[in-house]
Amino acid sequence: MTESILEAAVVANHELFLRTNDRLTATLAEQGLTQATAHALWVIDPAEAPPTMKELADRLHCNAPNLSFVMNQLTSRGLVERSADPADRRSRLVALTDDGRRVRSVVIEAALALSPFARLDTDDLLHLVSLLGKALELAAAPA
Amino acid sequence: MTESILEAAVVANHELFLRTNDRLTATLAEQGLTQATAHALWVIDPAEAPPTMKELADRLHCNAPNLSFVMNQLTSRGLVERSADPADRRSRLVALTDDGRRVRSVVIEAALALSPFARLDTDDLLHLVSLLGKALELAAAPA
DNA sequence: CGTTTTTACTTCGAGACTTGAAGTTGTTAC
DNA sequence: GTAACAACTTCAAGTCTCGAAGTAAAAACG
C-alpha cells in the first residue's frame, strides 16, 4: 500500500529525469557537449569559489579518474581552466572561462525550459521543491 | 525568481536520482546486474502482458540496437525470454523467467528501501506523487 | 496478386563513458 | 626526516550507446 506509493514516487522521479535529458539531447549536441560534460559544467557555479577536483567528483557522484577524463574534454574545448590551489598544491581549482559561463547558461536555460516541471505553476513548484528538499535532508541525516 | 525555484526542482530531481542509484550499486553488483540491465528488468512488469522490444525501447528511452544489447545480457543470464509475437511475427515478446521475477523483486525492494523518498511519511509521499504525476501529464499534453 | 514501402529487430563497428591499478607530487603525522 | 596519507593523472580494460547496414515480415499500393 504505502509501498506502491513509494514505488510510484521513485518511478516518476526517474521518468522525469530521463525525459528532461531526452529533450536536452539536441541542445547538448549543438553545444558540442555530452551528458557527462554538461553535468560537469552545470555543477560549477560561477558565483561561488572555484571547486577542487575532489569536490567536483563528489558533486557528480563519480570517481577521480573519470573526472579527469571529463575535465580534459572541457579544458580542450576551452570551457574551464585548472590551476593549482595555493592553499594545497596537490589540489586543482577548476574555474569556468567566459565561454564556459556562456555555454553553461545556455544549457541550464534549455534544461529549465524543456523540463516537464516548467509547466507547473509557482505554488506547485514551491511545494515540490519543499518535498524534494525534505527527502534530501532526511537522506543526509543519521539513520 | 520563479526561475530559481524551477532550477531548484530540476536539480533536486537529478540529485535524488543519482543518489538512489549510488546506493543501489552494491545490490546490483550482488545480483550481477548493471544499471542498464536493472532498469530493463524493472520496466517489465510480470503482472502485465509481455511487451515487445519496441515498447521496451520506448520505456527505457533508448534505441533498438541498445535494447538488443541489453536484452542479450538478460537472456544469457536466464532472466528473460524472447519469443515471436503470434500477432506480428516481426515483433519479439519479452517475458521474465521465474529467476527474472525473483531478481526484479530484489532490485525493486532494495531501490525503494534505499531511496531518500523512503523517509517521507505517507502524506508527503502522496502529495509528492501527485505533483510529479501532474508534471508528467502536462508534459504529455499538447504545447 | 505482385511490387514497393514501411516496420521490428539484429549485427557490426566506432565512439564515449567508467572503473581499477599504478604512478607522481605534495601534505601530514609521528 | 621518514612513513603514511591525500589529490590528481595516466593507462588499460570493460561497458554502454549509437548510426549504418542487413534480414524478415507486414502493410500499402496499383
pLDDT tens by residue, B62-97: 999 999 999 999 999 999 999 999 999 999 999 999
What residues contact residue B113 under an 8 Å CB cut-off, 6+ apart? none
Contact of A129 with B9, CB cutoff 8 Å = yes
Q: Which residues of A touch B14 (CB under 8 A)?
A: 17
pLDDT tens digits, one per residue of A85-106:
999 999 999 999 999 999 999 9
Average of per-residue pLDDT across A129-134: 98
CATH classification of the domain holding A94: 1.10.10.10
Q: Is the pLDDT of residue A12 over 80?
A: yes
Stated in angstroms, how far is A45 CA from D11 C1'?
A: 31
What residues contact residue A46 under an 8 Å CB cut-off, 6+ apart? A96, A100, A101, A104
**CB of A17 less than 8 A from some CB of B:** yes
The pLDDT of residue A1 is 55
Taking the CA of residue B118 and the nearest CA in chain A, the distance in Å comes to 7
Q: Is the pLDDT of residue B143 over 90?
A: no
The pLDDT of residue B1 is 55
Count of the separate structural domains present in chain B: 1
Contact of B107 with A88, CB cutoff 8 Å = no
Domain span including residue B64: 2-140
Reported confidence tier of residue A141, pLDDT bands at 50, 70, 90: confident
Q: How far is CA A4 from CA A7, A97, A102, B69, B136, in A?
A: 5, 47, 43, 30, 18
DSSP letter string over B32-100? T--HHHHHHHHT--TTSPPPBHHHHHHHHT--HHHHHHHHHHHHHTTSEEEEEETTEEEEEEEEE-HHH
Q: Is the pLDDT of residue A111 over 60?
A: yes
Cβ <8 Å between B129 and A17? no
Reported confidence tier of residue A68, pLDDT bands at 50, 70, 90: very high
The pLDDT of residue B101 is 97
Which chain D positions have some atom within 7 A of a protein CB? 6-12, 15-21, 24-27
Q: Is the pLDDT of residue A62 over 80?
A: yes
Average model confidence (pLDDT) across chain B: 95
**CB of B123 less than 8 A from some CB of A:** no
Stated in angstroms, how far is A88 CA from D3 C1'?
A: 20
Q: Which residues of A touch B13 (CB under 8 A)?
A: 13, 16-17, 20, 117, 132
